[in-house]
Amino acid sequence: MILKRFYETRLAQASYLVACAATGEAIVIDPNRGFDTYLEAAEEEGVRIVAVTETHIHADFLSGSRELAKLTGATLYLSDEGDAEWKYGFGENVRLVHDGDAFMIGNLKFEVVHTPGHTPEHIAFLVTDTPAGETVQSAFTGDFVFVGDVGRPDLLERAAGYEGTMEAGARRLFRSLEKFKSLPDGLLIWPAHGAGSACGKALGGVPVSTLGYEKRVNWALRIEDEQVFVNEVLAGQPEPPRYFAQMKVRNKVGPALRSDRPAPSHLGAHRLTELVEQGAIVVDARPSAEFAAGHVPGTLSIPLGKGFTNWAGWFVPYDTPFYLIAMGEAEAHEATNALAMIGLDEVAGWFAPTAVRAWAEETGRPLRVVTQIDCHDLMAEADRVQVIDVRGQTEWDDGRLPFAQHRFLGTLGKNLDDLDRERPVVVQCHSGGRSAVGCSLLLNAGFRDVRNLAGGITAYREAGYPVTGP
């Protein structure tokens, strides 16, 4: 048995290639749209992808199952559980599976277990390496059981608009867990997400766990009372990114094929001026520091870091072409791929950084800068400025600047009316990255004196200043 795990950091998402070493047949579980990863892994291991599957209709990224099956000629195994609302709407070379079904990939037996809760059609796979006996070796649990957490049952209601489903989902999840706990302690658990995913609230940083360990340590598996579990699992969940609303329906009817789309063109520097004038959406993917040192007013700062896909999902509209500014060709491609993960395919072209300077030349206007302020200077002005903390609710609850206000970055743009436009605004986050994006939003909204707290609450804390919190 060969097992390879792929981790897409920007989505905190795990997918797997599992192969029978004896026959060279392989299955891919929960693929995203980064196809080459799976094809290359199969080539490296000398195995052939004959099956593709997914644990459920994902809400947080565009599924690559359909296209990977097409590129490889593999059979697509899809859940036929859940009611009519949850049936997949695409169907070439598909085999529908139900609770209790089993299929072989070479000598590996895959048993299907229906595990509703996160979503109604959710399934998990129990894998047995049959030449080694009858002991189940691994469970691929998707968004059912994570390391240290479980898949949230409120997402459909909170992100996809399925009113009144979250309590029922929580109860179904409790029952799915009860059943799951009866499996052996030594079972490996391979979930579909890691730390940082918005599909749960307390995911750990270890890629794998065991049922024995989770039963002792995972808060969700330790609760034995259904109502206590329901209350707990619905509390304190992070705000789902705006783009989640788009994913379910696309993944259900069949995600668009990436291979149908041309790569975005490199555009000549001075076309930027004309596009900005026409009000085109331009995402400046350069590092925060470059944006801070000089950018074109009206452009949106989403630096090509770990959070790129997520913030793009909050701020970039679907179905409107938009443009990128990237440090170079490699970065433009990386950004395009990162956007494709959530179906933001409408990149109409990209500009190199010289385009920013060219805009200034052509318009005769200075580039706009984002001013940094350090924590000492902030303290000196603390009563004069408004400090906006743009972190998530949990981070805010865990400790904050005494004089800060909390406005989450994802919804900041719609939450500015009561700010005093005459007073300076200092934007703050954990270490200065998200607050730079926040500065860009405020500047584009017409605020004039906006500063970024260099190093965020981390530098502030390290310098010994007081923090309010638990």
Q: Which of 75, 107, 130, 210 binds a copy of itself (CB under 8 A)?
A: 210
Q: What is the DSSP letter of 223?
A: -
Q: How far apart are CA 110 and CA 421, in angstroms?
A: 60
Nearer to a copy of itself, 161 or 268 (CB): 268
Residue list 83-112, contact with a copy of itself (CB under 8 A): none
φ/ψ of residue 118, rounded to 5: -60, -45
Q: CB–CB of 252/88 below 8 Å?
A: yes
Point out which span in 58-66, 96-104, 223-231, 266-274 binds a copy of itself (CB under 8 A): 266-274
- Contact string (CB under 8 A) for a copy of itself, positions 286-315, x = contact: -xxxx-xxx---------------------
End-to-end Cα separation, the chain, in angstroms: 47
Minimal CA–CA distance to 303: which of 94, 103, 45, 10?
A: 10
Q: What is the DSSP string of 26-54?
A: EEEES--S-HHHHHHHHHHHT-EEEEEE-
Residue list 328-367, contact with a copy of itself (CB under 8 A): 329, 349, 352, 354, 357-358, 360-361, 364-367
Residue list 7-36, contact with a copy of itself (CB under 8 A): 19, 21, 24, 35-36
- Minimum CB separation of residue 57 from a copy of itself in Å reads 24
Token duo for residue 257: 């094929």
Residue 262 sits in the site that holds a copy of itself (CB under 8 A): yes
Point out which span in 86-94, 245-253, 372-380, 385-393 binds a copy of itself (CB under 8 A): 372-380
- Minimum CB separation of residue 207 from a copy of itself in Å reads 7
Token duo for residue 432: 């200065």
**What is the side-by-side order of every strand in the sheet holding 322-325?**
300-301, 282-284, 322-325, 347-351
Q: Which of 93, 227, 259, 468 binds a copy of itself (CB under 8 A)?
A: 259
Residue 135 sits in the site that holds a copy of itself (CB under 8 A): yes
Taking only Cα atoms into account, the Rg of the chain, rounded to an integer number of angstroms, comes to: 24
Tell me the sheet residues that pair with 143.
none
Residue list 53-82, contact with a copy of itself (CB under 8 A): 71-74
- Contact string (CB under 8 A) for a copy of itself, positions 160-189, x = contact: ------------------------xxxxx-
Q: Which of 93, 265, 415, 468 binds a copy of itself (CB under 8 A)?
A: 265
